[in-house]
Amino acid sequence: MRISALLEQKGTEVSTITGDASIDDAVTELSRHQIGALVVSPGDGSIEGILSERDIVRRLHDQHGALLGQPVSSIMSTAVTTCSPEDDTEALMAVMTDRRIRHIPVVSDGRLCGIVSIGDVVKIRIRELEKDRNELVDYIRAR
């Protein structure tokens, strides 16, 4: 299945935050949207970075409460792996597994157009496998 088909099912909404927002603001947004990552963008569809719950937790260990007042840009990941709507979900799952990445922004024509989590990809893959299984069972029963 293509990423575009996955986005048709889950939607294209992406929660973003600016790099100058505070980590406290980011925590609020993550909690409010019940998500695990925010794309860091100035609001024009470009991507400056990504901030995940893991990024925050790892820095909290060292900096404690002082971290909350720092800007998102101080801890965001700037080397962002992205994918295209034309990419295959199975190939993307391999990339996510190999690189230990849980969230990958979807980019088309240089602009952010969605985000895919490992949960989204696994859910779609399970549906595909269940469909294949059911087709095989039906084929065997018909014989």
Q: Encode pLDDT of 78-118 as tens digits.
A: 999 999 999 999 899 999 999 999 999 999 999 999 999 99
pLDDT given at position 132: 86
pLDDT given at position 49: 97
Better-predicted residue by pLDDT, 32 or 127:
32
CB 97 within 8 A of CB 121: no
pLDDT given at position 111: 93
pLDDT given at position 31: 96
pLDDT given at position 43: 85
pLDDT given at position 91: 92
Query: Which residues lie below 8 Å from residue 105, measured CB to CB, with a gap of 6+?
Result: 14, 39, 47, 50, 80, 82, 83, 112, 114, 115
pLDDT given at position 63: 83
Query: Which residues lie below 8 Å from residue 57, measured CB to CB, with a gap of 6+?
Result: none
pLDDT given at position 82: 96
Q: What domains does the chain contain, in order, with CATH numbers?
A: 3-142 (3.10.580.10)
CB 67 within 8 A of CB 51: no
Predicted TM-score (pTM) of the model is 0.85
Nearest C-alpha neighbor of 15 from the set 31, 47, 37 = 37
Q: Encode pLDDT of 60-82 as tens digits.
A: 888 888 899 999 999 999 999 99
pLDDT at 135 > cutoff 90: no
Q: What percent of the chain has pLDDT over 90?
A: 74
